[in-house]
């Protein structure tokens, strides 16, 4: 896994995702999930492209089922986009990298506007 990707756990989910001051994308995945393996390089590319502007993390639903359940994850891969600790967007299944980039870029731009206005 890329150095720009967070491995999310019970211990770090709240500080890394819910308390983050920058946008966060969480990839809910499982080792047995074929589509997750297809989407993984796209997710890792987001981590590299948005380093310092947004966080990108992966959470294995088999290792941390309570977190997956708290967000009603019923299919993998599911990507949740967080802003100020709240889910603001969702992608279920494999989608083009461009679509993921556009969604995260919009959140980063929103965050930059809010930060500069403060």
Catalytic site residues? Answer: 33, 36
- Cα 64 to Cα 29: distance, rounded to the nearest angstrom: 10
Going by their DSSP bridges, the two strands 55-60 and 78-83 should be labelled as unpaired
CA dist list (Å): 67 to 36, 43, 62: 18, 19, 10
* Cβ-Cβ contacts under 8 Å for 62 (sequence gap 6 or more): 30, 31, 32
């Amino acid at each position: 896994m890329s150095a720009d990707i967070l491995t999310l756990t019970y211990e770090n989910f709240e500080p890394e995702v819910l308390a983050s001051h920058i946008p966060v994308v969480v990839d809910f995945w499982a080792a047995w999930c074929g589509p997750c393996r297809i989407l993984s390089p796209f997710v890792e590319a987001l981590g590299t492209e948005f380093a310092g502007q947004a966080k990108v993390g992966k959470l294995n639903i088999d290792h941390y089922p309570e977190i997956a359940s708290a967000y009603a994850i019923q299919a993998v891969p599911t990507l949740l986009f967080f802003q100020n600790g709240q889910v603001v967007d969702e992608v279920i299944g494999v989608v083009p990298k461009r679509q993921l980039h556009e969604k995260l870029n919009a959140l980063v731009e929103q965050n930059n506007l809010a930060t500069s206005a403060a």
